[in-house]
């Protein structure tokens, strides 16, 4: 017999594969058949519940409602998450602090914070004060759950009838949510967060707690926060002792504290108080007979000098205090700040005068400014036009595109790479990652120096440097090292200033140039003391020394270029009088939404911004116009009567202190802002002499005098626990 061939196994293998294929086909077919059968049975079952006629309409509406309700719930959850992120921190923390602020010379300038346990309980407040607040701010406070839809509908109806905003729809809880967690920025995002946070507050606090927090935290004008502080400031009495007329005046301050502050405009405050009394009657909380005495005898206030508190600065300084003093056991503190009230008043006047004189023609409504002295102390801060109208600090919190003022970081990185102001670059069309930037005049200059490129603010050059030489990561690193704390986007448009920064960022970073390339060490707090006089924190003692950011050569190259911009570049209106050398850079963003000038002398660095909160375009305002003019007005004032320091790397000598300007004999310029004249207290020579005497006393050895008893020796001096250690520091130390 023949042996079986190996090929005889092939039919068996084919048979196995055919069986597997048959099983798959039958299984899939059976599954499909059973599924269709199940679907048919299910359909037949649900046909029993089919409705017709008007019932069908009802069920369709309910079905659609359930579908859209599910979608809405998911959407609401997505919108609520960012709002609830605001509550993660210790939002009650600021109630742990009570801070008295002093200026650089030791003069009291304001207070922040409130001791939670010392605030007056709601049950101890006058009944007419509570009624006045609720009648004016939120009549349905005890009936809603954070959002009053009936009140909102009523406000919308009244506003539609009046053709403008005459009533607000925000509840008292929503206003508290804004005060605790949010800013006054008018955006849809903020309103959404405000609504969710109001519901969160209603869920976690009682109505009495919400009302007490509102009365303790609201800004009441005159630099005061809370009804208790306002009662002391305006009437010189405790909040528990105010009468109905005074309560009505206090309740009227919540809407617009700057406009109705009685120490500023008493007739307006009394008119507003009369409206509050009318609200009490209309709301059914009091009768006309009960309020008639308050109408006939309106409240009077204490006569106070018109001393404005630097509120925007104090808000920022209070945040700094909480950051620094959190580990301290004591939270009732005295804080010596770096602010100079003479420079602060001049800064506020410069911004307000610019907006008042040119705001309408340029279609600009807001401005911000930060002034830093060489060495880091913040001497002035303007966070907006009117603190009473909006407490949103545009100097520290508003993120705005810097435009061409950002180019200095690209050029600083280039100088660190070995380039010089005389390095030749090519101004020509360029395309990078599908983007082709254009110059302001849509023309090109060909081969030019870097000095010409920065002076004329040419756009293609920083883009070409970023593309071919530097890379965006190096530019971002340079900007951050110089002091930009806002996160930057390292995209292709970043070299032209499309990534947002703050005014404080710009002032901090530019202050590196007059500091010789060293870290500017910007700060607003000099010392923190307790009420026993113990120094808990001292900036010069507790902070590390300045680090080098730019090499001396790179910094000198930057200064040599930046000091030419007010001479031959885009910032000629920023050039100071009396030949004082000035450096800086202008910035104008797309569609003229933001205008900047950031400049410096050997003594001060100042960043100025103008724009609109709603990001609408200005009327062709550039950084070389109103910002540069405002910078000049403030710096002309600041440089009067002081000993000038030289900008590092600039070889020409610093000018000697000049005499007071002959304002009366000067030829008037209709287009120029009126100059500010700095009051003269001590000459530069006398100041130097007093400082040298003070240094001599500090270095002198302690005096020793023998005691009569036991031959013991008493050491007389600052080390003996005297005022030099426990008292407030003297003005000369700053």
Name the class of domain 119-296. Answer: mainly alpha
The residue ranges of DSSP E strands in 503-638, in sequence order, are 525-530, 535-538, 583-588, 594-600, 604-611
Q: Is the pLDDT of residue 733 over 50?
A: no
> Average pLDDT of 146-157?
70
Q: Of the ranges 111-115, 504-508, 585-589, which one carries the lowest mean pLDDT score?
A: 111-115
Residue 404 predicted with pLDDT over 60: yes
What would the pLDDT profile of 371-400 be if each residue is shown by its tens digit? 999 999 999 999 999 887 888 899 999 999
The catalytic residue among 95, 350, 404, 560 is 404
Residue 280 exposure: Cα atoms within 13 Å on the Cβ side = 29
How far is residue 167's CA from residue 184's CA, in Å, rounded to a whole number? 17
Q: What is the mean pLDDT of residues 401-421?
A: 94
Q: What is the pLDDT of residues 625-636, one digit of tens each?
A: 999 999 999 999
Burial class (CB in 10 A: 0-12, 13-18, 19+), 229: middle
649 — alpha (psi -120 to 50), left (phi > 0) or beta?
left
- Range with top average pLDDT, 77-91, 205-219, 555-569: 555-569
Query: What topology does CATH give the domain 346-639?
Result: Beta-lactamase (3.40.710)
* pLDDT-derived band at 704, boundaries 50, 70, 90: low
Whether pLDDT at 11 is above 70: no
Q: What is the pLDDT of residue 344?
A: 96
Segment 111-125 shows an average pLDDT of 72
Domain residues of the chain, as ranges? 57-88, 119-296, 346-639
Binned at pLDDT 50, 70 and 90, residue 73 comes out as low
* Crossing angle of the two packed helices 172-181 and 207-217, in degrees rounded to 10: 60
The pLDDT, as a whole number, for residue 81 is 65
| pLDDT value of position 80 | 61
Least confident segment among 63-77, 577-591, 719-733 = 719-733
* pLDDT over threshold 60, residue 289: yes
* Structure confidence by residue, pLDDT tens digits, 464-489: 999 998 999 999 999 999 999 999 98
Nearest CA among 561, 579, 578, 228 for reference residue 411 = 561
Out of 95, 119, 137, 373, the active site residue is: 137
The pLDDT of residue 86: 59
- Please confirm, yes or no, whether 85 is among the known catalytic residues: no
How much is the pLDDT for 617? 94
Residue 405 and residue 497 in contact, taking contact as beta carbons nearer than 8 Å: yes
Structure pTM?
0.70
The SS3 assignment for 306 reads coil
User: How many residues would you count in the chain?
Assistant: 734
Q: Is the dihedral of CA 300, 304, 306, 312 positive or negative?
A: negative
Determine what percent of the chain is predicted with pLDDT higher than 90: 46
> What's residue 659's pLDDT?
46
Q: Is 360 a catalytic residue?
A: no
pLDDT at 419: 94
512 or 304, higher pLDDT: 512
Range from 84-98, 140-154, 554-568 carrying the lowest mean pLDDT = 84-98
Q: Would you state the pLDDT for residue 662?
A: 41
Pairing of strands 332-337, 713-716: unpaired
Distances (CA, A) of 60 to 50, 68, 72, 690: 11, 12, 18, 88
Q: How confident is the model at residue 362 (pLDDT cuts 50, 70, 90)?
A: very high
Same fold, 119-296 and 346-639: no
pLDDT tens profile 198-246? 888 888 888 888 888 888 888 888 777 888 888 988 998 889 999 999 9
Determine the pLDDT at residue 185.
Answer: 62
Task: Report d(CA 572, CA 565) in Å as an integer.
Answer: 7
Q: Which residue has the higher pLDDT, 205 or 63?
A: 205
pLDDT of residue 511: 96
Calculate mean pLDDT across residues 529-548: 92
Give the mean pLDDT of the chain. 82
Q: Residue 199 is encoded by which pair of tokens?
A: 């519901």
């Amino acid at each position: 017999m023949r042996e079986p061939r190996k090929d005889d196994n092939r039919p068996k293998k084919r048979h196995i594969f055919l069986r597997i294929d048959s099983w798959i086909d039958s299984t899939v077919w059976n599954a499909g058949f059973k599924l269709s059968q199940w679907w048919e049975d299910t359909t037949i079952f649900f046909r029993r519940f089919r409705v017709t006629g008007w019932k069908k309409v009802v069920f369709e509406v309910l079905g659609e409602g359930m579908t859209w309700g599910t979608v809405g719930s998911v959407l609401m959850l997505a919108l609520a998450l960012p709002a609830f992120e605001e509550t993660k921190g210790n939002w009650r923390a600021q109630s742990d602090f009570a801070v008295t602020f002093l200026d650089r010379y030791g003069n009291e300038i304001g207070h922040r914070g409130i001791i939670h346990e010392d605030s007056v309980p709601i049950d101890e407040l006058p009944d007419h004060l509570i009624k006045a607040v609720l009648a004016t701010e939120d009549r349905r406070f005890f009936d809603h759950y954070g959002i009053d839809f009936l009140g909102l509908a009523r406000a919308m109806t009244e506003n539609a009838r009046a053709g403008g905003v005459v009533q607000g729809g925000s509840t008292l809880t929503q206003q508290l949510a804004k005060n605790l967690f949010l800013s006054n920025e008018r955006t849809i995002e903020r309103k959404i967060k405000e609504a969710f946070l109001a519901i969160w507050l209603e869920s976690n606090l009682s109505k009495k707690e919400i009302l007490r927090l509102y009365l303790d935290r609201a800004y009441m004008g005159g630099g005061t926060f809370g009804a208790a502080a306002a009662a002391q400031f305006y009437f010189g009495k405790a909040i528990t002792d105010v009468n109905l007329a005074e309560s009505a005046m206090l309740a009227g301050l919540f809407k617009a504290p700057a406009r109705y502050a009685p120490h500023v405009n008493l007739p307006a405050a009394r008119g507003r108080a009369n409206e509050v009394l009318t609200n009490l009657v209309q709301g059914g909380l009091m009768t006309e007979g009960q309020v008639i005495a308050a109408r006939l005898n309106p409240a009077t206030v204490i006569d106070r000098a018109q001393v404005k508190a630097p509120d925007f600065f104090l808000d920022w300084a209070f945040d700094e205090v909480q950051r620094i003093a959190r580990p301290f056991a004591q939270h009732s503190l005295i804080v010596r700040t770096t602010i100079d009230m003479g420079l602060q008043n001049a800064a506020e006047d410069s911004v307000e005068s610019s907006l008042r004189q040119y705001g309408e023609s340029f279609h600009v409504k807001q401005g911000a400014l930060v002034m830093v002295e060489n060495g880091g102390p913040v001497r002035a801060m303007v966070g907006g036009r009117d603190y009473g109208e909006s407490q949103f600090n545009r100097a520290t919190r508003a993120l705005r595109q810097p435009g061409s003022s950002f180019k200095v970081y690209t050029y600083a990185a280039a100088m660190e790479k070995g380039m010089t102001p005389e390095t030749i670059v090519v101004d020509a069309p360029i395309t990078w990652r599908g983007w082709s930037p254009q110059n302001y005049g849509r023309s090109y200059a060909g081969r030019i120096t870097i000095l010409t490129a920065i002076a004329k603010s040419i756009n293609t050059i920083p883009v070409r440097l970023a593309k071919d030489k530097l890379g965006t990561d190096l530019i971002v690193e340079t900007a951050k090292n110089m002091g930009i704390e806002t996160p930057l986007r390292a995209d292709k448009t970043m070299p032209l200033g499309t990534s947002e920064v703050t005014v404080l960022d710009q002032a901090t970073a530019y202050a590196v140039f007059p500091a010789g390339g060293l870290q500017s060490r910007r700060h607003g707090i000099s010392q923190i003391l307790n009420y026993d006089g113990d120094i808990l924190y001292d900036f010069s003692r507790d902070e590390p020394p300045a680090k080098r950011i730019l090499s001396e050569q790179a910094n000198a190259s930057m200064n040599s270029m930046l000091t030419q911009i007010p001479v031959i570049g885009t910032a000629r209106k920023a050039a100071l009088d009396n030949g004082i050398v000035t450096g800086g850079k202008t910035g104008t963003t797309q569609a003229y939404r933001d205008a900047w000038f950031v400049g410096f002398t050997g003594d001060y660095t100042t960043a100025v911004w103008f724009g609109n909160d709603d990001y609408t375009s200005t009327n062709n305002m550039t950084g070389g116009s109103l910002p540069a003019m405002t910078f000049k007005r403030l710096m002309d004032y600041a440089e009067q009567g002081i000993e000038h320091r030289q900008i590092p790397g600039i070889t020409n000598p610093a000018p000697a202190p000049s005499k007071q300007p002959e304002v009366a004999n000067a030829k008037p310029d209709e287009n120029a802002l009126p100059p500010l004249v700095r009051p003269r207290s001590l000459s530069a020579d006398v100041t130097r002499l007093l400082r040298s005497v003070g240094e001599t006393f500090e270095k002198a050895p302690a005096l020793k005098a023998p005691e009569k008893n036991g031959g013991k020796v008493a050491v007389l001096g600052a080390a003996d626990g005297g005022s030099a250690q426990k008292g407030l520091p003297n003005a000369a130390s700053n």
